[in-house]
Amino acid sequence: MTGNALVARLDSAGDVLLAGPAVRAVAQSSARVTMLVGPRGRAAAELLPGVDDIIEWQAPWVDFEHSPVTAESVHQLIKQVETLELDRALILTSFHQSPLPLALVLRMAAVPWIGAISEDYPGALLDLRHQVGGDPPEAERALSLATAAGYALPAGDRGRLEVRRPLPDVSTVTGDTPYIVVHPGAAVPARRMTVDRSRDLVRGLVAAGLRVLVTGTPGERDLTRDVAGDWATDLGGATDMFEMAAILAGARVLVAPNTGPAHLAAAVGTPVVSLFAPVVPPDRWAPYGVPHRLLGRANAPCAGTRARECPVPGHPCLDTVTTEEVLAAIEQLTAHPDVRTDGGGTP
């Protein structure tokens, strides 16, 4: 199988990283792979092995901060896709999303073959309507579509998350002594501890003898400054995603909510203490392919709601996680040096 292929994943950085195994499978049998992503996923797409080109487009039916649907915006995307002379396209989505709006746009761009996972009847919009039973991890769900389309991973590829190598030298930022990373932020507020609880957690980890680096996006500088306080190193907004991957690769462990950096840690083989709010299912979204511990109150009233703002006073699913529980999880994950993996593989 040869030709030019497009792989679409239109939402967040973590979602794009989880698409990595599917992308590598498509790249194995394609002359060129273009990835279609939203603004929040572009930096992650630049890290993925197998991606030759990237088109960035904000899908009004996917992005949190969507712009209005306009004919001009859609026509612009159609023109970009037409120039690629595609032979095939795969549309990757989460279980609650429909691929059909994008499939319609791609048909308008004369893409001759389109595959996607779809619960809805697609009519002429899809050539492959793949369906997935059960509740598999998101990376496996996406890879199953590529497999159904006739693609296969290269020999020896275990289907884990990966990033391009080599990673940059970040020793001037991290220093030479062992450290852990705490990433307190998340794009969805319901999935992160409150600022006060995050600050207390970092203070407790430092008091226990750990050196802590606090990371965040440029938009999270106020958050990381408040959380790091006078105890930890504040790296909020100080790195791009490629540098962030290198920082995580050197960390003993990452402590983070269910957010993009947790998947980035998995892609560089770093264990994760996942502060996991149950608003989405952990079976789908837990760190994939690396040792990890899930902490959070799985039976909280918010479970399965996909809420963006916490609907329960006191944010009990995460703010009741104790510093002692986090320290115990860190000890479990770092007690043996061979717990580390390379490139997201299992130990």
Average pLDDT over residues 233-237: 96
Q: Looking at the whole model, is its pTM more than 0.75?
A: yes
pLDDT of residue 241: 95
List of residues 6+ apart from 70 with CB closer than 8 A:
none
pLDDT, tens only, 294-345? 998 877 777 777 777 877 777 888 989 999 999 999 999 998 655 554 443 3
Average pLDDT over residues 75-98: 95
pLDDT of residue 293: 96
Domains for the chain: give ranges and CATH numbers. Answer: 4-148 (3.40.50.2000), 171-339 (3.40.50.2000)
Q: Which of 30-44, 46-60, 64-78 has the lowest mean pLDDT?
A: 64-78
pLDDT of residue 257: 94
Cα(193)–Cα(321) distance, rounded to whole angstroms? 9
DSSP 254-317: EEEESSHHHHHHHHTT--EEEE--TTS-HHHHSPPSS-EEEES-TTSTTTT---SS--STT-HH
Average pLDDT over residues 108-135: 95
pLDDT of residue 336: 67
Average per-residue pLDDT for the chain: 92
Q: Which of 10-14, 59-63, 216-220 has the lowest mean pLDDT?
A: 59-63
Q: How confident is the model at residue 146 (pLDDT cuts 50, 70, 90)?
A: very high
Does the pLDDT of residue 67 top 70, yes or no? yes
Q: How confident is the model at residue 188 (pLDDT cuts 50, 70, 90)?
A: confident
pLDDT, tens only, 262-287? 999 999 999 999 999 888 888 888 99
What's the per-residue H, E or C state across 52-89?
CEEEECCCCCCCCCCCCCCHHHHHHHHHHHHCCCCCEE
User: Which of left, alpha, beta for 336 (phi over 0: left; psi -120 to 50: alpha)?
Assistant: beta
- Tell me the one-letter amino acid at 335: A
